[in-house]
Structure 1
Amino acid sequence: MGKAARNIKSSLITLNPIFFTRLLSISPLKSFVFSPKKNSRNQKNHCSSPNLTLLFFLSLFILCTFLGICILTFVPISQNSIPCSMISPSSPFSPFVLASLSSIVKDYSNSLLDEQPTTLSTSAMVPLPPHGFSGNLSEEEREFWQQPDGEGYRPCLDFSLGYRKSSARISKERRKFLVVVVSGGLNQQRNQIVDAVVIARVLEAALVVPVLQVNRIWGDESEFSDIFDVEHFKKTLQADVRVVMSLPSTHLVSRQSVENQIPSHVSPTWIRARFLRQLNEEGLLILKGLDSKLSKSLPPDLQKLRCKVAFHALRFSTPIRELGNQMARRMWIEGSYVAIHLRLEKDVWIRTGCLTGLGPKHDNIIARDRESHPDFLTDKLNMSNAARRLAGFCPLNSLEVARLLKALGAPSNARIYVAGGDPFGGTYALQPLVEEFPNIVTKQMLARGDELSPYTNRPSVLAAIDYIVCLSSDVFMPSHGGNMGRALQGHRAYVGHRKYVKPNKRMMIPFFEDMSISEEEFSSVIQKLHKNSKGQPEQRTKMIDRDVLAYPVPECMCNH
């Protein structure tokens, strides 16, 4: 930060009259500006007016030169790079905080920001600022609300010179096109869209706006433009890949076959070897089934591109963004709040093969549905229900979430926003959590009038609203990992290191079942298991298979 500040300071010319005097003294125009004194009064009067006029225009020229230097100093040279912020995210004058505060003052701030150049504070979806401590809090409660310091890491998407040189050619591609069909829920679709942009870059092809496949579980028929801001997507990536709305008439889809047999963790080299020749010959490639197929370990520039897509380009559409921001402000204005992504939907219990914790009646319903849809069940098919739970593969139910929050120091009057779909079992499934933390809020409770009516059968839109409200929470915790949990983990780190609690299910489940342990001992154990779960930056390089979107350090964040 100090070095950057010195560079900016050194690039400016100090406005000092001596500077202009010295400049004129060595200038070849000196004789015209400062003419020698004349003995004749007439001669003196005759010369003074032209000299003053010339001095005026020369001063104007110097001033314009100075302003030009200032403009060149502050305008980014390349649109490829989003430089590190020179202001700490915790600073009251941080671009994150300024953007958040502007959204509180005026609802139309986003439309104003759209007119500005693409920078971190204008293109990234940023949260409302965290709250400070208020009231008489115990030491445990203060620890619970305490935000991480970020250890100096800030967003930094500085692409290499080679990447930027290639961009001039790739961003103008008009012969080769990539079409990608994405599936799953909102955050699963987001991951595939990110990978689609990277694959288009690797193949040096233009990307057609991705096609969202109708979800077979929820029946959501939303298109890309219904969920995401298409023009912002295209504008943000204009220096990386060319994004088009549709295929040109010269490329017929009917002749093409859909490629969906892609192995897991493929590298850019594999992608080029498998698809580049076909793409060059036919001019069109259609990919399907990209979910988690692209390697998590990519070259640095492609990792930065993934962050650029996820945290900058994939901004929700204006109606979703406005409604989500309104709900976030309704939660935020009342003070600190916790957001929990509670995975208690029926399909989650079916897919995970776990018991609901609601008794034999509900478990039998899930078992029957699972038998009729065996393809819904995910991996570890040979494990029993108990083994799955002990291995940490099952979502926490509301009782376990309540005990975990209480052990971590959450006050009983804490306001808790519950994200996710309707829980299997209805209010009965949420009863243990409500008994311990009565200030439970959902998007349906926050909505006014018929705000949510247009999205009743649009689960992806409802999930996007949840995402926005969760992003601004002081503390976020998922009950069962998943795509949304990982996405918010990385996003909250990227925009200011907001506290994120990742339940250590595998280690703590045995203590949930130990009836002999006291509440004090249980709390002590839980706090020890989660002492490092405070949102501090975790390096992706510690585990090579970690996703950069969940662990943006060090590829997408610099340490200053």
Structure 2
Amino acid sequence: MVNKRGNYSHSRNSLATKLFPRKLTLFSITVYAILLFAFSIFIFIFHIFEHERMKPLSSEGSQSQQLPDNKLWGAPHYYGLRPCVKPTAKYKATQGWDRYMTVRSNGGLNQMRTGISDMVAVARIMNATLVIPQLDKRSFWQDSSAFSDVFDELHFTTSLQGDVRIVKELPKELEHVPRARKHFTSWSGMSYYEEMTHLWKDYQVVHVVKSDSRLANNDLPVDIQRLRCRALYYALRFSPSIDNLGKKLVERLRSRGGRYIALHLRYEKDMLSFTGCTHGLTDAESEELRIMRENTNHWKMKKINSTEQRKGGFCPLTPKEVAIFLQALGYPPSTLIYIAAGEIYGGHIHLLDLTSRFPNVVFKETVASQDELKTFSNHASQTAALDYIISVESDVFIPSYSGNMARAVEGHRRFLGHQKTITPDRKGLVEVFDKMEAGQLEEGTSVSYLVMQLHKNRQGAPRKREGPLQGFKGRARFRTEESFYQNPYPECICRSKSTL
């Protein structure tokens, strides 16, 4: 053992002597320096290569790995489901009633549309003749449009003549008689309205002060639910001028790129002020929104924690967040995007966060001529109707916030065959965006994977309407139910071949 160890030591010393002689010449030092420098360069290049190889793809790199067209644009499988809104065999035709119901609709376009559909069903339940509803002229938009300016009035009355008697106005002899003014309880069912028929003992006319959310989402007879669908999807057709221009704009969008995304970008001043969401805004902009909220009397919430709102998923996505979201889903920069919304808060400055990544962004003002839009100027309900038509007809619909229009369009697209509708998981996305801002995530394959996983079951595939959230009791639970008009399955969508 000793000899072996000694031999090994001697050999090692001999090798060291050969490699590193005690007296180094200038030439040897130069050679060693050059070799050491070359080796350092090699190590540096190797580490750079490995870092780039292991790093997630950048946003540009991710765009080179495009998903197949059917993944990006294809509608989810709808399993042969189709609209089924014909009445059952038990349904009886309307009668010529001499009791009348007048209605003042409230809210924006889609809040009024669903409210009017509710009132059609309520009139049916209460055996009343429905007078053409008055549209809201006192909302935020101060729109003076009459019913016939927005909807095809003749079509509305004739298409529902087997369900409810509808007249343009009260008979002359009833114009000045006392009316029962009623603010019907929200989300009420059959028994409530059957009880309300006692009003006919003392009154011949009942005036409904508000129309929105007057009917329950669930636990109603199938014939009442189908009547709501017939009213909304068939009877409440837009006026010929709106309908014709809407179809023209869809054709023009198709001629530009064949396919397009309708993006309902709720980044408008009133929405941001109402929700108290200020992420990404300047201090001056945040203060402006706070003052607006303070001065709007019917908005009950005055002090709102913007950070908590955003973390809870209660804020509309910002233009920048929408751009990252679309990119993560795999849509290329050339994608045609139609913005279905009012004036974007901050205008070009905030919108640049979206257009810098997706430059092919258009509005109705860029698709239609000034002369075509002149008729609809200063009429928010009519211009919103154009956005609605274009959104329903789009290849993909994406709302940045779950407001009235987003819910109505989603429900209509489900009714028409479950067309692709991607509803952002805002709470989950905020976690992703915050990690990106903190440098814990980089745009590319890792972000794309997280976003796609979050939304694989949020693309409009058939599913039954969701009930109330857990933990809510009493009437408060009704507010948490999924809206009937957001998902009219199963009452108005089935495998039956019976369609209207």
TM-score (normalised: structure 2): 0.80
Match runs of 1:220-299 below 5 Å? 220-260=143-183, 262-273=184-195, 275-297=196-218, 298-299=220-221
**Partner Cα separation in structure 2 for residue 149 and residue 459 of structure 1:** 35
Q: Displacement of 1:137 after TM fit?
A: 8.1
Match of 1:547 in 2: 483
Q: Which deviations, in whole Å up to 9, do the C-alpha atoms of 1:472-516 show, x marking residues without a partner?
A: 110000010111111111111212221000011122211111131
C-alpha contact 1:307 1:548 (8 A) present in aligned 2:
no
Q: Give the partner amino acid of 2:356.
A: E
Find the partner of 2:311 among 372, 386, 390.
Answer: 390
1:301 is the counterpart of 2:237:
no
Find the partner of 1:406 among 311, 316, 327.
Answer: 327
1:208 is the counterpart of 2:131:
yes
Q: Displacement of 1:373 after TM fit?
A: 2.0
Q: Displacement of 1:538 after TM fit?
A: 1.7
| Greater radius of gyration (CA) | 2
Match of 2:451 in 1: 526
Partner SS, residue 552 of structure 1: coil
Q: Displacement of 1:534 after TM fit?
A: 2.1
Match of 1:451 in 2: 372
TM-score (normalised: structure 1): 0.72
CA separation of 1:215 and 1:140: change in aligned 2, threshold 3 A: farther
Match of 2:33 in 1: none
C-alpha contact 1:395 1:480 (8 A) present in aligned 2:
yes
**Partner Cα separation in structure 2 for residue 343 and residue 188 of structure 1:** 16
C-alpha contact 2:108 2:139 (8 A) present in aligned 1:
no
Q: Displacement of 1:257 after TM fit?
A: 4.1
**Partner Cα separation in structure 2 for residue 321 and residue 548 of structure 1:** 25
Partner SS, residue 250 of structure 1: helix
**Partner Cα separation in structure 1 for residue 157 and residue 182 of structure 2:** 25
Match of 1:330 in 2: 252
Q: Displacement of 1:356 after TM fit?
A: 5.2
Q: Which deviations, in whole Å up to 9, do the C-alpha atoms of 1:358-415 show, x marking residues without a partner?
A: 221211111122222253255xx67521111111111111001111111111111000
Match of 1:172 in 2: 95
C-alpha contact 1:148 1:535 (8 A) present in aligned 2:
yes
**Partner Cα separation in structure 2 for residue 358 and residue 382 of structure 1:** 17
Q: Displacement of 1:537 after TM fit?
A: 1.1
Match of 1:318 in 2: 240
Q: Displacement of 1:280 after TM fit?
A: 4.1
Q: Displacement of 1:277 after TM fit?
A: 1.4
Find the partner of 1:360 among 265, 272, 283.
Answer: 283
1:146 is the counterpart of 2:71:
no
Q: Displacement of 1:321 after TM fit?
A: 0.4
CA separation of 1:488 and 1:373: change in aligned 2, threshold 3 A: same
Q: Which deviations, in whole Å up to 9, do the C-alpha atoms of 1:429-464 show, x marking residues without a partner?
A: 211100010000100000124111121100100000
Please, which runs of 5 or more residues in structure 1 have no aligned partner? 1-135
**Partner Cα separation in structure 2 for residue 214 and residue 254 of structure 1:** 24
Identity of aligned residues (%): 36
C-alpha contact 1:352 1:377 (8 A) present in aligned 2:
no
**Partner Cα separation in structure 2 for residue 278 and residue 145 of structure 1:** 52
**Partner Cα separation in structure 2 for residue 400 and residue 426 of structure 1:** 16
Q: Give the partner amino acid of 1:549.
A: Y
**Partner Cα separation in structure 2 for residue 206 and residue 137 of structure 1:** 59
Q: Give the partner amino acid of 1:245.
A: K
Q: Give the partner amino acid of 1:192.
A: G
Q: CA RMSD in A?
A: 1.8
Q: Displacement of 1:547 after TM fit?
A: 2.3
Moved over 4 A (4+): 541-544
Match of 2:36 in 1: none
Q: Quick check: 311-320 or 291-300, which moved more? A: 291-300
Partner SS, residue 517 of structure 1: coil
